[in-house]
Amino acid sequence: MSKVLYRKYRPKSFSDIIGQSHVVKTLRNAIKNDNISHAYLFTGPRGTGKTTMARILAKAVNCEDKKDAEPCNKCESCKSITAGNAVDLIEIDAASHRGIDEIRQLREGIKFSPNKLKYKVYIIDESHQLTKGAANALLKTLEEAPDHAMFILATTEPQKMISTIISRCQRFDFRKLNLSEIIRKLEKILKEEGVKSDKRSLEIIATASGGSFRDAESLLDQILTFTEDQLDEEDVRDLLGLVETQYMFEFVDLLIEKKRLKAIRYLEKMYKEGVNLEEFHGSLLEYLRQLMTMSLIDAELTDNENSVIAGLRVSFTQKEIKQLKEQSEKIDLTEINKMLESFLKAGKRMDYSPIPQLPIEMAIVDITA
């Protein structure tokens, strides 16, 4: 059985990491200057490379022949970590091993020197899920950690961790990746796999991933199961069950122009074409939320326009952002809020409506009144 893509193409060196240059630069400088901390905290959304970075850091500090702070991936230390059989690299999933007994075992084991590596490295994933007792025990361990031990804590919810643990760690915040970063990496994978693809198919996958490269790889894996040597935009949309942004743009335009009957007929047309109305409803709410964000640029956030648009690039292509901006200039925030409220009510009604499109049609009537 062949490896899934996210395992097959998991980064092995800092240079393979995409989108987290601020973290890579700092860690590499620390290794070059022999200024390694005994505890790190990696925070950020799921699928942004926290545990991957932790493994590469573990390799780099233990590598027998590193160059420019990069692990060589050839020495016994590097190979054992890559293969997942290094006895001195201990990975703990705090989601399933969150109690004080697990941390007590860790405290007992940490007393002993590493068997083969220079450092005994503990990677604790989802560390915010540790119980209060376990967190306090970990805090004491961090305070008394021997020189041969290193801790790398990873979490999606740092606000749930006790502040004293955070204060004992060097913290690095990972960010979601933007479309261009994800697309470049997907292009490399497809080239290795010998699969052709058009740019739009990759944009769709990258957008659907929500800034998580791991999710992008999983989606690509799913699609490659059903295709041979060519990614087709229509097939990608069908397989992922996605609703085109263009549908939302045209539908919202009709609402802005108060074209009630045309909007209802447009909804009926989509339904007959096989668009899943629940998926359309969810995508529409997200679209309106982003339209509201774009409207805020002109209303309140003029100085932060670039940062707001940079955030939108996680979900939209350049062309779609341009359309979104043009549309935001035709509607005010009050109208967008009215649309959001009406479609949120429609969502609650869709669960028990005998006619799937009726709640959305009622929202259309309400908005265009």
Q: Quote the pTM value.
A: 0.74
Domain boundary residue, one of 193, 223, 240: 240
Q: Are residues 252 and 128 in the same domain?
A: no
For residue 364, give the nearest of 231, 246, 265, 228 by alpha carbon: 265
Q: Are residues 30 and 81 in the same domain?
A: yes
Q: Are residues 145 and 91 in the same domain?
A: yes
* Domain limits for position 328: 245-367
Cα→Cα distances 74→54, 64, 118, Å = 18, 9, 16
Specify the DSSP class assigned to residue 2.
Answer: P
Domain boundary residue, one of 173, 190, 223: 173
Write down how long the chain is: 369
- Note whether 256 and 323 are within 8 A (CB): no
Q: What contacts 247, CB < 8 A, 6 or more positions away?
A: 270, 275, 280, 283
Q: Are residues 198 and 335 in the same domain?
A: no
Q: Are residues 34 and 169 in the same domain?
A: yes
Q: Are residues 225 and 251 in the same domain?
A: no
Number of independent structural domains in the chain: 3
Six token digits for residue 90 = 């201990």
Q: Where does 121-212 have alpha helices with state H?
A: 132-143, 163-167, 179-193, 199-208
279-329: per-residue pLDDT in tens?
Answer: 889 889 988 988 988 888 755 544 455 545 555 555 566 777 888 888 988
Cα 118 from Cα 71, distance rounded (Å): 14
- Note whether 213 and 5 are within 8 A (CB): no
Instruction: Say yes or no to pLDDT of 1 above 50.
Output: no
Q: Are residues 110 and 149 in the same domain?
A: yes
Tell which wins on pLDDT, 355 or 246.
355
- Note whether 280 and 243 are within 8 A (CB): yes
Q: Are residues 65 and 87 in the same domain?
A: yes
Domain boundary residue, one of 187, 213, 240: 240
* CATH code at position 360: 1.20.272.10
Q: Give the model's pLDDT for residue 286.
A: 86
51-98: per-residue pLDDT in tens?
Answer: 999 999 999 999 999 999 999 999 999 999 999 899 999 999 988 877
Q: Are residues 321 and 282 in the same domain?
A: yes
Tell which wins on pLDDT, 315 or 339.
339
Q: Are residues 141 and 16 in the same domain?
A: yes
- Note whether 102 and 92 are within 8 A (CB): yes
* CATH code at position 133: 3.40.50.300
323 phi and psi angles, rounded to 5 deg = -65, -40
58 phi and psi angles, rounded to 5 deg = -60, -40
* CATH code at position 222: 1.10.8.60
Q: Are residues 188 and 144 in the same domain?
A: no
Instruction: Say yes or no to pLDDT of 154 above 90.
Output: yes
173-219: per-residue pLDDT in tens?
Answer: 999 888 888 998 999 999 888 888 888 888 888 888 888 888 889 88
Q: Are residues 257 and 208 in the same domain?
A: no
